[in-house]
Amino acid sequence: MKTSIGYLLGLSLLGAGVAQAVTYAIDIDSTRLSGGDTSGVIDTAPGFASLDATNGGSAAVEVNGINFQLFTVGGNASRLRPASSTGAGGTATALTRDFVFEDGGSAAVGILIGGAGDLPVGIYRVEVWAWDADPNSISPVIVASRRNNAETIHTESFGSHATDPFVFELESDGVSAYDIFVRENSDSNRARLNAVRITTIPEPSSLVLGLGALLGALGVRRRQG
């Protein structure tokens, strides 16, 4: 009986470490097919929350208790491309066929991760999608984040890709304000943002504790067997 309890305890502790992962997944959607045509249909990728940016501005959506809000977006600066659209990096998906944008040199568009203190303490895996089929939008963009307006550039050359995101890690102190953005460095190109996914990375200590308990329980079973 003791062996069974130890074995189950090890499993539960290991599961507790894995269960700490929380995901905030935001798909930026739009029904705007052109400047004045909003007759499109929202197309949200599975597993993502829809942020309807048809009218640009400060559109927002709440995910797992955090309000994610767009910034530096004009009133009609969003687009929905045909599902069959192709361009640099492949063919559009539900995640990348729609986006918000800003044109011009040093133009930027991004998303606020709630307010100060809203993002819990921890280390996060951040995925950013930035694609458009338009030939004027294929140049690399800068991907950056800010903590209390202090900027960190993660790459200056993220190339346009229809399916693959740029990935980086972000550490939250639990009290600061954070945002993520893309920026264009060419007057003739476009800063665009399709989607963002932020996932907690479980603390190694929790995983090690759970694994140690599980291995210990298995060792007891072998000796008693």
What's the mean pLDDT when you consider all of the chain?
Answer: 86
Residue range of the domain that includes 214: 1-20+203-225
In this structure, the answer to whether residues 102 and 41 fall within a common structural domain is yes
Higher pLDDT, 164 or 138: 164
In this structure, the answer to whether residues 189 and 217 fall within a common structural domain is no
In this prediction, residue 207 has a pLDDT band, given cuts at 50, 70 and 90, of: low
- Among the listed residues 115, 111, 107, 110, the one whose alpha carbon sits nearest the alpha carbon of residue 186: 107
In this structure, the answer to whether residues 30 and 139 fall within a common structural domain is yes
In this structure, the answer to whether residues 15 and 67 fall within a common structural domain is no
- Among the listed residues 80, 93, 97, the one whose alpha carbon sits nearest the alpha carbon of residue 30: 80
In this structure, the answer to whether residues 160 and 208 fall within a common structural domain is no
In this structure, the answer to whether residues 180 and 218 fall within a common structural domain is no
- Average pLDDT for residues 180-209, to the nearest whole number? 84
Report pLDDT for 9: 45
The percentage of residues in the chain with a pLDDT greater than 70, rounded to a whole number, is 80
Q: Tokens 């960190």 sit at which residue?
A: 152
* 131 pLDDT above the threshold of 80: yes
Q: Which residues contact 83 (CB under 8 A, 6 or more apart)?
A: 43, 92, 94, 97
Instruction: Please give the full DSSP string across 94-105, using - where no structure is assigned.
Output: TTTSEEEEEEST
In this structure, the answer to whether residues 122 and 162 fall within a common structural domain is yes
> What's the pLDDT tens digit per position in 38-79?
999 999 999 999 999 999 888 999 999 999 999 988 878 999
In this structure, the answer to whether residues 45 and 149 fall within a common structural domain is yes
* 23 pLDDT above the threshold of 60: yes
* 186 pLDDT above the threshold of 90: no
- Average pLDDT for residues 125-138, to the nearest whole number? 85
Q: What is the CATH number of the domain that holds 102?
A: 2.60.120.430
Number of domains within the chain: 2
In this structure, the answer to whether residues 88 and 180 fall within a common structural domain is yes
- Among the listed residues 63, 59, 86, 85, the one whose alpha carbon sits nearest the alpha carbon of residue 73: 59
In this structure, the answer to whether residues 222 and 160 fall within a common structural domain is no
- Average pLDDT for residues 79-90, to the nearest whole number? 88
In this structure, the answer to whether residues 142 and 64 fall within a common structural domain is yes
In this structure, the answer to whether residues 37 and 135 fall within a common structural domain is yes
Structure tokens at 26: 């935001």
